[in-house]
């Protein structure tokens, strides 16, 4: 693998917009972003259109694993694209668009949770993160996987009815009364299901969070830990617990 590297990695100057070819045991992966990059060379507008249409769906899919809300995930991804355009990053980034966008969406999702939990009015999703300035560590990459897996695991451990109600509330953004009507339940029962899931999330993440706080290391050191905020959020949203 390492011996293949030199054959496929282009010189630094050529590599300005990320690797055009990456090492592959089968003899080289054609750069799938080449088309978008060519479009940017000809016309910015076309470039952004291709970029957006190519990555919007997978980015939303990834974001929703963290934020568990369709609306929030979409807003967040759009915001990432807006910042990308605002800063004309297609001219600046040195990695692939893909790796920049996924990394930024992850950070934005995390920052969203953070600010949501803190009930901050002034939202700053830390989208200024530039992978060039702050290289992503392998640890970080894995930690984000762990994070969404943990959230998924917690939610999956609840009863099917609780999951259903929770998803209708968080994911689809429905009001408790609407959910009650649709599922032929009382509003109180709906509240009970949501409370149950949130309670479980709080408990699970507290124990998990305590373990991961140190594990998340540098990334969380300045943000005081996602789970602390997550727990704060859960408590703030379910004060009656």
Q: Smallest distance from the beta carbon of 1 to other proteins, in angstroms?
A: 6
Binding status of residue 122 toward other proteins by CB under 8 A: no
**Which two tokens mark 140?**
């970080």
**Minimum distance from residue 6 beta carbon to other proteins (Å):** 11
DSSP H/E element including 30: strand 29-30
Q: For other proteins, which is the closer residue by CB, 165 or 180?
A: 165
Cβ–Cβ under 8 Å, residues 201 and 235: no
Cβ(50)–Cβ(44) under 8 Å? no
- Taking the complex as a whole, the smallest distance from the CB of residue 71 to other proteins amounts, in Å, to 10
SS3 120: coil
Shortest distance, position 208 Cβ to other proteins, whole Å:
14
Site string for other proteins, 124-163 (x = CB under 8 A): ------------x-xx-xx--x---x--xx----------
CA distance 109 to 102: 10
Angle at 232 between CA 240 and CA 203, to 5 degrees: 75
C-beta separation of 195 from 234 below 8 A: no
Q: How far apart are CA 33 and CA 21, in angstroms?
A: 10
**Least separation in angstroms between CB 184 and other proteins:** 26
CA distances, 81 to each of 88, 92, 93, 128, 194 (Å): 10, 14, 14, 12, 32
- Enumerate residues 37-66 that contact other proteins by CB under 8 A: 44-45, 48-49, 52-53, 55-62, 64-65
Residues near other proteins, by CB under 8 A: 1-2, 5, 8-9, 18-19, 22-26, 29, 32, 44-45, 48-49, 52-53, 55-62, 64-65, 70, 73-74, 78, 81-82, 85-88, 91, 95-96, 98-99, 102-103, 136, 138-139, 141-142, 145, 149, 152-153, 171
């Amino acid at each position: 693998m390492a011996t293949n590297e030199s054959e496929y990695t282009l010189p630094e100057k050529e590599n300005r917009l990320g690797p055009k070819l990456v090492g592959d045991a089968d003899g080289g992966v054609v750069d799938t972003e080449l088309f978008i990059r060519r479009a940017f060379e000809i016309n910015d507008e076309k470039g952004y259109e291709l970029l957006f249409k190519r990555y919007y769906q997978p980015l939303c899919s990834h974001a929703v694993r963290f934020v568990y809300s369709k609306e929030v995930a979409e807003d967040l991804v759009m915001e990432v694209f807006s910042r990308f355009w605002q800063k004309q990053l297609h001219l600046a980034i040195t990695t692939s668009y893909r790796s920049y966008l996924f990394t930024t969406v992850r950070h934005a999702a995390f920052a969203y949770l953070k600010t949501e939990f803190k009930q901050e009015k002034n939202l700053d999703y830390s989208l200024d993160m530039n992978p060039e300035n702050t290289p992503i560590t392998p640890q970080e990459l894995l930690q984000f996987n762990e994070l969404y897996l943990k959230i998924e695991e917690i939610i999956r451990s609840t009863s099917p009815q609780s999951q259903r109600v929770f998803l209708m509330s968080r994911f689809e953004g429905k009001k408790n009364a609407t959910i009650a009507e649709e599922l032929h339940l009382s509003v109180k029962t709906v509240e009970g299901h949501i409370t149950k899931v949130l309670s479980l999330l709080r408990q699970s993440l507290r124990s998990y969070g305590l373990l991961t706080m140190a594990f998340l290391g540098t990334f969380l050191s300045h943000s005081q830990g996602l789970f602390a905020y997550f727990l704060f959020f859960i408590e703030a949203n379910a004060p009656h617990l």
